[in-house]
């Protein structure tokens, strides 16, 4: 009984601090929206409401989810002993702002490097291409996971955050190219041709790799040798496992069909969601085991 009362008191006494952190997160969401409006060639409110563009909806939903994921990194890092609340809030807001900047940079990197043959922004705005919007959604969420992992932990600083964000983005794009290489169809061409299933499959694969990269990046920084070695080993392990799991899904969870054929020829959105959801779920399971 006394233990329950003590827990209730602790919860009640921590409410003002919790609401203060929540207020910081809400302010960061507003700032993130302003950045999105500035850095994209369209107005969010016009595309989301006046034009009812579903491709923009997919991209923006992934962006806001990614921003909230980014907030987890600094919030999950323990405060220094006897640190003042205002200082913790200021530090948290600063790291969140850095995370939002990196998140918007990540979208540009993925758009220009992973799918360089066409403009995803034009596909989303001009063609209302939901497949392209799904890729951006996946890229945002994956990048949000990378940024959150880079911001989490002690022992580093802005230099380690930027370094592992950069390494994470390179690893994400390289995996994207490996995935597109093993597919039995031209992924970029299918997305450009408004194949929503192809976009969903790629976007969900990026999310799965983002979860793998959390395990490769998150944690305290001890030394460059240790953390870089850990990053490389876990990323390589994740690539191999995800590719093997895709074969497993193909033969055991969707027997009698081939996912590549369903996505390319039939544009089967169900196959894309099944593949992506199972891969992301298993990647999350691997994250807990690493």
pLDDT of residue 200: 94
**In this predicted model, what pLDDT tens digit does every residue of 172-189 receive, in sequence order?**
999 999 999 999 889 999
Asked if residue 96 lies in contact with residue 71, where contact means CB atoms within 8 angstroms, the answer is: yes
**Model confidence, pTM:** 0.87
**In this predicted model, what pLDDT tens digit does every residue of 239-273 receive, in sequence order?**
999 999 888 887 777 777 788 888 988 898 988 99
pLDDT of residue 207: 95
Cα end-to-end span (Å), the chain: 37
- Segments making up each domain of the chain, as ranges: 23-289
As a residue count, the chain comes to 290
Cα–Cα distances in angstroms (integers) from residue 13 to residues 2, 8, 22, 78, 88, in the given order = 16, 9, 15, 18, 17
Q: What is the DSSP letter of 79?
A: P
Asked if residue 205 lies in contact with residue 174, where contact means CB atoms within 8 angstroms, the answer is: no
Q: Tokens 């399971």 belong to which residue?
A: 285
Q: Give the dihedral of Cα atoms 35, 32, 164, 176; nearest 10 deg.
A: -80
Q: How far is it, in rounded angstroms, from Cα 195 to Cα 202?
A: 11
Cα–Cα distances in angstroms (integers) from residue 158 to residues 102, 218, 259, in the given order = 12, 14, 42
- pLDDT tens track of the chain, all 290 residues? 555 554 444 554 556 666 777 887 888 888 888 888 787 777 777 777 877 889 889 988 999 898 888 877 666 665 656 667 667 777 777 777 877 888 888 878 888 888 888 778 888 888 899 999 999 999 999 998 998 888 777 776 778 888 998 999 999 999 999 999 999 889 999 999 999 999 999 999 999 999 999 989 988 888 889 999 999 999 999 999 999 988 888 777 777 778 888 898 889 898 899 889 999 998 888 877 76
């Amino acid at each position: 009984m006394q233990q329950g009362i003590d827990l209730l008191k602790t919860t009640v006494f921590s409410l003002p601090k919790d609401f203060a952190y929540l207020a910081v997160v809400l302010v960061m969401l507003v700032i993130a929206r302003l950045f999105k409006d500035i850095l994209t060639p369209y107005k969010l409110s016009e595309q989301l409401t006046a034009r009812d563009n579903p491709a923009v909806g997919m991209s923006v939903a992934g962006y806001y989810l990614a921003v909230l994921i980014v907030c987890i990194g600094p919030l999950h890092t323990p405060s220094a002993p006897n640190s003042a609340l205002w200082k913790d809030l200021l530090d948290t807001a600063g790291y969140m702002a850095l995370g939002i900047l990196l998140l918007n940079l990540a979208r540009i990197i993925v758009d220009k490097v992973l799918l360089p043959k066409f403009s995803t922004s034009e596909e989303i705005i001009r063609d209302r291409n939901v497949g392209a919007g799904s890729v951006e959604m996946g890229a945002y969420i994956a990048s949000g996971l990378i940024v959150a992992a880079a911001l989490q932990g002690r022992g580093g600083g802005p230099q380690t955050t930027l370094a592992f964000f950069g390494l994470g983005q390179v690893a994400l794009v390289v995996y994207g190219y490996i995935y597109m290489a093993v597919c039995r169809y031209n992924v970029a061409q299918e997305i450009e041709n408004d194949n929503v299933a192809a976009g969903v499959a790629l976007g969900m694969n990026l999310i799965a790799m983002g979860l793998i990269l959390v395990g490769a990046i998150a944690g305290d920084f001890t030394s460059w040798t240790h953390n870089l070695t850990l990053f490389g080993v876990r990323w390589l392990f994740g690539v191999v496992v995800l590719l093997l799991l895709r074969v497993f899904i193909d033969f055991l969870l969707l027997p009698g069909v081939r996912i590549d054929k369903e996505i390319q020829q039939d544009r089967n959105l169900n196959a894309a969601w099944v593949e992506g959801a199972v891969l992301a779920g298993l990647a999350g399971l691997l994250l807990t085991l690493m």
